[in-house]
Every structure is written in C-alpha cells, then in structure tokens.
Amino acid sequence: MDENKIDELADVLGSTSRVAVLTGAGISAESGIPTFRGSQGLWRQFRAEELATPEAFERDPKLVWEWYDWRRKLIGEAEPNAGHRTLSAWQRRFPSLSLITQNIDGLHELAGSRDPLELHGNIWKTRCLRDGTVRENRDVPLSEVPPRCPDCGEWLRPHVVWFGEPLDSRVLDEAFRLCSSCQVMFVIGTSAVVHPAAALPLAAAEAGAVLVEVNPEPTPLTRAADFSFRAQSGGLLPLLDRKLGTRRAP
Ligand code: BV8
C-alpha cells in the first residue's frame, strides 16, 4: 500500500469539511457477505441479475423470496467490519459526511452511521403489492415464503430496487446533490457498472471534487480517480483514519 499517497490524501482531508461516500457490495465482503460480481456472487445456479428483477418475481415469487431469505440469514449473522466502523466514526470527524450506499444489507446503520442514503432499498423491509405499505420484517427464516401482508393477505415483495426498476427519484436527486457539492468523494467497494449509481462519482468529479477509489481491483472509475488504492476497505480506511488522527480532531 502506497504510504506516500495515503499521507497525501490525509493532508487533503485535513482541510476538508464536505465529504461524500458511495459504497457497494465490496465494503461488506470482509463481513462475509458475497459480492454480486465475484465468483461467490452465485446462489444455486443463478446470478443476482437473473433474480433481482420484476420479471423473475412475476415468474417465480417463491424462488426469488428463497434467495432473499437465504441472504437475510447470511446478513443477519454478519457484523459490520472496520471499514463500516471507520465511516461511522468519520461522521463525527468531518463537519459534513454524506453516506450513500448501493447495499441493502443495513450494515452501515448497524455500525452507527446515521441516515445512510440507501439507493437500492433495504433487505429488512417488505412492501405490500396491493397498497404499497412498507414494513420492517426481521424474521429469519421468514415464517412463510412468499410472506403475506398482515393487513390484507396479499403477497409482499422485498422493498428493494430491482434491475429495470427506477430508483426513488427523491433519493437519487439527493444523492446527486450531495455528490455535486462535496469536496472529496470516496468510492468504496463497487465495480461501478450499475447505473445510475455509477454516475454519481462522475458528477462529483465534474463539480471539482477529489475522487478517491478503494477497491482491490481496477474499475471503470479508476482512470477518473485522483487517488485509487488497490486495497481492501477494511484495511485501508482504518489506516487512513489513523493518519487523520494526527491532523483533525474527531
Ligand atoms: C434503472 C438491489 C431505469 C437488489 C441492485 C445505464 C448504463 C448501463 C446500464 C443501465 C443504465 N441505466 C440502467 C441500466 C440497467 C441497470 C444496470 O445498471 N445494469 C448493469 C448490470 C449494467 N440499472 C438498473 O436497472 C437500475 N434501474 O436504471 O431504471 C428506469 C427508469 C425509469 C423507468 C424504468 C426504469 C436499477 C439498478 C439497481 C439494481 N438493484 N440491488 C438486491 O440487492 O437484491 S444492484 C446491486 O448491484 C447491488 O445493489 C450492488 O450493490 C450493486 C452494484 O454492485 P456492486 O455493489 O458494485 O457489487 P459488485 O459485486 O459488482 O462489485 C463489488 C466490488 O467490490 C468489486 O469491484 C470488488 O473488486 C470490490 N471488493 C471486493 N472486496 C472488497 C472490495 N472493495 C473493497 N474492499 C473489499 N474488501
């Protein structure tokens, strides 16, 4: 890991007040949750893109819910890692730190991050197909698959954004507003292939923000990044935080 680049970034952050962070599945990898596009991103013989769609749910709601039930069990046993915890601590270190996540696992909130902007929803929430009521449901395993609305008996769906579905426009507008007005934007643990989330870092860079990528692999964002650390977030973020410790009071 390039210590000089980390020192250089710590110097930049020492005089930064507005930070935005976009995270993807990679920040939860060290918590034992498989990423989407890594080899472990498979369940039975399916890829996420085949199951996280309205068509798949229409065709076989039981299969799609079995997949979410399996993920809920996995996520329910997972703990936030040092990467999540560092970002939570940074909400006290920086006057303004906006956390935007593509993840639906809720680990940022569990690590103490306040009000993360969840672009793609949350695996612990369901939505009634009849009246759209959103409820929290933490049953592991689900009492029945597919689960039914306690009010009307209609099937529930996961309150997440599937491929081919639009994101909540208020959430997306807020995400673009935050990224276009930050001084430094971190992009952590995302392959940067899923849109419109992948456009957020480019909006930040176009608005003049310093772009910082943390990912063991290069991504389509790497060439636009001012700092690109080929590293795991669970190691890099605490190391950067220790460097910051000498430059900014929490
Ligand atoms: C929409 C919720 C329009 C469900 C998810 C423009 C261009 C190209 C395509 C499109 C486009 N516009 C729309 C599309 C289509 C599509 C899309 O982007 N497809 C991709 C696959 C090409 N987008 C959509 O369909 C979006 N909807 O645009 O609607 C519209 C408008 C009006 C009316 C109708 C429609 C909706 C996208 C949301 C899909 N839902 N999740 C669920 O989770 O069950 S997306 C899913 O992928 C997850 O949220 C995940 O977070 C996200 C992105 O993946 P990553 O997080 O990046 O995960 P990945 O595995 O890919 O990468 C992990 C990375 O971590 C790797 O790089 C790895 O190296 C790194 N890593 C590993 N270990 C570590 C690490 N990094 C750091 N530390 C480590 N230790």
- List pLDDT tens digits, range 160-201: 999 999 999 999 999 999 999 999 999 999 999 999 999 999
pLDDT for the residue numbered 65: 97
Say yes or no: CB of residue 84 within 6 Å of ligand 1: no
Residue 27 alpha carbon to ligand 1 centre in Å: 14
Q: Can you give the length of the chain in residues?
A: 250
Token code pair at residue 238: 């605490």
Please state which architecture CATH assigns to domain 3-33+80-120+167-245: 3-Layer(aba) Sandwich (3.40)
pLDDT at 49: 85
* DSSP class of 155: B
User: How many A from CA of 194 to the centre of ligand 1?
Assistant: 3
DSSP 232: -
Q: Residue 126 CA to chain centroid, in angstroms? A: 18
DSSP secondary structure of 57-81: HHH-HHHHHHHHHHHHHHHHT----
Residue 120: active-site member = yes
Query: Which fold would CATH assign to domain 39-77+127-160?
Result: SIR2/SIRT2 'Small Domain' (3.30.1600)
What's residue 41's pLDDT?
Answer: 66
pLDDT (tens place) for every residue of the chain, 250 residues total: 788 999 999 999 999 999 999 999 999 999 999 888 766 666 777 888 889 999 999 999 999 999 999 999 999 999 999 999 999 999 999 999 999 999 999 999 999 999 999 999 999 999 999 999 999 999 999 999 999 999 999 999 999 999 999 999 999 999 999 999 999 999 999 999 999 999 999 999 999 999 999 999 999 999 999 999 999 999 999 999 999 987 766 7
Ligand 1 atom 43: residue of nearest CA: 104
Residue of the CA atom closest to atom 23 of ligand 1: 195
Residue type, 46: F
* Residue 109, both tokens: 């909130």
Rounded to whole angstroms, the Cα distance separating 73 from 179 reads 33
The predicted pLDDT at position 47 comes to 84
Instruction: Report pLDDT for 38.
Output: 67
Helix intervals (H) in 120-199: 169-180
* pLDDT the model gives residue 1: 74
* Predicted pLDDT at 247: 74
Is residue 25 lining ligand 1, measured as CB closer than 6 Å? yes
Measure the CA–CA gap between 124 and 72, rounded to whole angstroms. 8
Ligand 1 contact, 228 CB (< 6 A): no
How would you class 53 by CB atoms within 10 Å of its CB: exposed for 0-12, middle for 13-18, buried for 19 or more? middle
CA 40 to chain centre: 18
d(CA 91, ligand 1 centre) in Å: 25
Judge if the beta carbon of residue 52 lies within 6 A of ligand 1: yes
- Burial of residue 205 (CB within 10 Å: 0-12, 13-18, 19+) is middle
Every domain of the chain and the residues it spans: 3-33+80-120+167-245, 39-77+127-160
Find the catalytic residue in 84, 120, 159, 195: 120
The reply to whether ligand 1 has any atom less than 6 angstroms from the CB of 161 is: yes
86 touches 156 (CB < 8 A): no
* pTM, entire model: 0.97
